[in-house]
Amino acid sequence: MSRRLLCALSITAALCVPAAGESNPFVGHWTSGELKTCAPPYAADELTFKISETQLDMGEQGCEIRSIQKISKLADSGYRLRLLCRIGSEEQADEIVLARIRKSPLHGELLMRFDVPSGIVTTFQRCP
């Protein structure tokens, strides 16, 4: 069964995450600063953040990936993520769009994050 069908059939569709075998192409450490901000232990701060299959860690804010939907027909470039974010004891639903730009002779692999509610776009580069 496809992931879409499984999510559609699920009573808790908001909890659907990529199915086994379908990996999140954004997994890794990313920085909006210079690559030297990527030095181990890769702590998430104001310049860097970490994406796992189910989480986004951005400094003091941690977000659970509640759903991920491919929105681009180009390889694995564009996805809409619905998140449940926590800062301290507060929880807030959020939505972002991530687009990956593959490595080229001019730059390394890039990630563009579009914050849907605010319209803010931030570009990150993958940490080595």
For the chain, the structural domain boundaries read 24-126
Reading the chain (128 residues) residue by residue, the pLDDT tens digits are: 333 433 332 322 333 344 433 567 899 999 988 887 787 766 656 678 889 999 998 877 899 999 999 888 776 678 999 999 998 889 999 999 999 888 899 888 999 999 988 999 999 999 88
pLDDT the model gives residue 41: 65
DSSP string, the chain: --HHHHHHH-TTGGG--PPTT---TT-EEEESS-GGGG-TT----SSEEEE-SSEEEETTEEEEEEEEEE--SSTT-EEEEEEEEEETTEEEEEEEEEEEE---SSS--EEEEEETTT--EEEEEE--
